[in-house]
Structure formats: C-alpha cells, structure tokens
Amino acid sequence: MISVTLLKALNEQIQKELYSAYLYLAMSAHFEAASLPGFASWTRMQAQEEQEHALKFYDFINDRGSRVELLAIEKPPQEFGTPLEVFKEILEHEKKVTASIHKLYEIALKEGDYPAQMMLHWFINEQVEEEKNAGQIVDQLQMAEDHKGIVLNIDHHVGKREAE
C-alpha cells in the first residue's frame, strides 16, 4: 500500500502530467494556426507523451492497490508567441515538472517506498531528456532569431520527430 502522503502527491502528479498534455496540445493548435506544421507535430507528440506519463502514474497507483483520484485540470492558454518564446516556455515548464518529480522522489525516499523510488528513476531520466531536447530547440531558435527562413527550416527538422 502507498502511504497517504505519497498517494496524494502521485495523484497530484497525474494532474500535472495531464495539464502538460493539455498545454502542449494548445501549443500545437497555436502552431497549426501559424502555419508551422513541424512545431505543431512536435508539440502534439509531446502532448501524447505526457498522457502516457500520466498513465504510468495511474497504473502504478492501481498496481499498488491504492485508489487514483483524478483532479481538475486547469485550462491552458490559447495564444502563444513566437516559436522561440514558446520553446522557452516549454523549457521552463519541463524544469517545473523535473522539480515536481524530484519532490516525489524525496517523499518516496522519506517513506521508504522502494517500488516508488524505482518507478521514479525512469521519470528522473526522462526529465533529463525532456530538458535537453527543449533546450536544444531554444538554442537553435536563438541562433536563427533574425532569419525567418531558418525558422522554417527548423520547423521542418522538428517535424521529423518520431514517436518513441
């Protein structure tokens, strides 16, 4: 059984992961409206990945004989800025998710919940990748900031992301 403290935090993490999916889907809609299909594809795939993350927590809670409590999901913004501004926002968002995962790990460690610690190792590694990928796109967009044609090239490159 999962402790009350850890269960509450895991249910909150499901909410955060689902909000992330909702946020990335809103960003995808923004890019579709801006005729940037590569960025739209990347953010849509990211939305799907965040849903999978939520389901990993969902399944973990159920597998441990505890009860999932789905919490309300906040409405994401509808309008976003330039690709550079959006990917800076993505990077900051992923850093917040990383901090949340680290807090979960600290609770699991304090509670002596070894299965949760093992499960969270996967998320810790995943967040290193998430921040790296977003950071690289920010770097590329910063280099291309004054050259609109290059942004379209980056859009094309980002759109080639494959499902993991």
pLDDT at residue 164, rounded to an integer: 62
Q: Is the pLDDT of residue 77 over 70?
A: yes
Parent domain of 55: 4-158
**3-state DSSP assignment of residue 35:** coil
pTM above 0.75, yes or no: yes
Total domains present in the chain: 1
Is residue 91 in some structural domain? yes
Span 50-64, pLDDT tens digits: 999 999 999 999 999
Q: Where are the beta strands (DSSP E) in 14-111?
A: none
Q: Is the pLDDT of residue 147 over 70?
A: yes
| Whole-angstrom distance, CA of residue 164 vs CA of residue 138 | 21
pLDDT at residue 121, rounded to an integer: 98
Closest CA to 154 of 24, 41, 62: 41
- The pair of structure tokens assigned to 53 is 């993350």
| Whole-angstrom distance, CA of residue 92 vs CA of residue 95 | 5
Is residue 163 in some structural domain? no
Instruction: Find the CATH number of the domain harbouring 107.
Output: 1.20.1260.10
| Whole-angstrom distance, CA of residue 100 vs CA of residue 148 | 36
